[in-house]
Amino acid sequence: MMGEFEAIRPYNDAEVPAVLQRLLSDDAFLGALARYRFPRLSGPFGWLLRPLIAHRLAREVTGIRSVSELQHKVEPYVDRTIEHATDGVTYSGVERLQSGRAYLFIANHRDIVVDPAFCNYAIYHAKLPTPRIAIGDNLLQKSFVSDLMRLNKSFIVHRSISGRREKLAAYQNLSAYINHSICQDGQSIWIAQAEGRAKDGDDRTDSAILKMFHMSRKDEPFAEVVRQLHLIPVSISYEYDPCDAAKARELFTRATTGEYTKAPGEDDRSIVQGITGYKGRVHINFGEEITGDFADAKQLAAELDRQILGNYRLFPVHYLAYEASDLRDAALNVPRAETLFKAEELQRARTEWERRLGECPAEQRGHLILQYANPVLNQYRLKQQA
């Protein structure tokens, strides 16, 4: 990889052994693993657990010399974690992906780590090479997190830059990297459709991200650059969002005070909650490759939204939330949940939904309902337009 991408690129195979060694001696990393694996013991016996964990890990990673070897080693653990926190993962459209072609996967964004993990899961099990993943530097405050992410094919998006010129240079570099990865390296890319998660469940593509893809190739027509990047819209649907209550609290605080300040370590807690929390069923849909003649980012964003919102799998809870929301619109002809789902499935959903509502403070409930109702509104509005 060219030197200009040094600060953002994933690690290459030659760097893997040294980075693994660095992780094995990183106290913060070993402490985090101890807390994750042995939550009760890690406080009083943390000092004792860390060397034991380091020893066990050293045995596990001995002889790993490449990123793909590492992914093969880690995959069973990822599968276990994914399967443990869901009632099953299904995917569709993956059969349309061609072997030997690099794609730009653009996905809706609900969870910091698990969104790209589920995409990887689907692509890996389809026996295709996993994409390189865009991750914001705001999530990489600890050096071991940065090491782990860059070992797993993540590249860094510099979001915490404030100066306009520096920001422009960072986006220019990111644009060049994404184009280089797909067109020269033949390596796919995964990126979210907007900066930050859609906390209100309203998945919208930010056209600024689409303009960024074109920035490093300004002298070529926008439509031509888009075609060469092989865009695939991806819809990730979670039956239940493990972070829904935290998102409702944040949205309520913003609505009532005009701002929201994250507490120290809040991102880390969201990451752990997102990975380990119960999600119900999960469905990942890979849409059709975008091949049209899109003159500008706005037109392209509309097509991405059409596919991402249209291919989103609606579960019973989404209809229950829609029925409870103030945004019901008779003109949309949204069917009642009982006409779409079997009684037993609906009853299960009703029980879980009422539990979630019951645990949410009354003044925040509207924001919880909105997260689940918005996908219904969006999909039926599309049907109406069509």
Q: What is the pLDDT of residues 300-338, one digit of tens each?
A: 999 999 999 999 999 999 999 999 999 999 999 999 999
Q: What is the overall mean pLDDT for the chain? A: 92
Residue range 116-126: average pLDDT? Answer: 91
Query: Looking at the predicted structure, is the pLDDT value of residue 347 above 90?
Result: yes
Q: Does residue 161 or residue 221 have the better pLDDT?
A: 221
Alpha-carbon distance of 182 to 188, in angstroms, equals: 6
pLDDT (0 to 100) of residue 265: 79
List, for residues 194-207, the tens digit of each pLDDT value.
998 999 999 999 99
Q: In this predicted model, which residue has the larger pLDDT, 241 or 159?
A: 241
For residue 1, the model assigns a pLDDT of 47
- Tell me how far apart the alpha carbons of residues 353 and 254 are, in angstroms, rounded to a whole number: 24
In order of 221, 245, 321, the CA distances from 277 in angstroms are 44, 12, 20
Beta-bridged to residue 155, according to DSSP, are: 134
Out of 4-8, 95-99, 178-182, which region has the weakest mean confidence (pLDDT)?
4-8
| φ/ψ (deg, to 5) at 135 | -135, 135
pLDDT at 358: 98
Supply the pLDDT for residue 86: 95
| Mean per-residue pLDDT, 6-32 | 91
Q: What is the pLDDT of residue 2?
A: 57
What is the pLDDT averaged over residues 17-22?
Answer: 93
- Torsional class of 96: left (φ above 0), alpha (ψ -120 to 50), beta (otherwise): alpha
- Interval 364-383 mean pLDDT: 97
Q: How many CA atoms lie within 13 A of 42 on its CB side?
A: 15
Torsion on CA atoms 232, 233, 239, 242, rounded to nearest 10: 90
**Most confident by average pLDDT, 64-68, 165-169, 182-186, 272-276:** 182-186
The whole-angstrom separation of Cα 72 and Cα 77 is 10
Q: Which residue has the tokens 């999530």?
A: 139
CB 234 within 8 A of CB 284: yes
CA angle 111, 199, 137 (to 5 degrees): 50
**What pLDDT, on the 0 to 100 scale, is given for residue 138?**
79
Would the pLDDT of 277 be above 50?
A: yes
Quick check: 270 and 246 in contact, CB under 8 A? yes
Helix (H) or strand (E) holding 5, with range, is none
Q: Is 93 left (phi over 0), alpha (psi -120 to 50) or beta?
A: left
pLDDT tens digit sequence for 25-80: 898 888 877 777 777 776 777 778 888 888 888 888 888 999 999 988 888 887 78
Give the Å distances, CA to CA, from 304 to 108, 193, 235, 284, 287: 10, 9, 10, 15, 9
Instruction: Give the total residue count for the chain.
Output: 386
Flag the least confident range among 135-139, 167-171, 205-209, 304-308.
Answer: 135-139
- Rounded Cα distance between 91 and 23, Å, is 33
Listed residue (284, 262, 291, 259) closest to 190, CA to CA: 284
d(CA 160, CA 274): 23
> Given strand 132-136, what is the order of strands in its sheet?
89-92, 282-286, 231-238, 104-107, 189-192, 132-136, 154-157
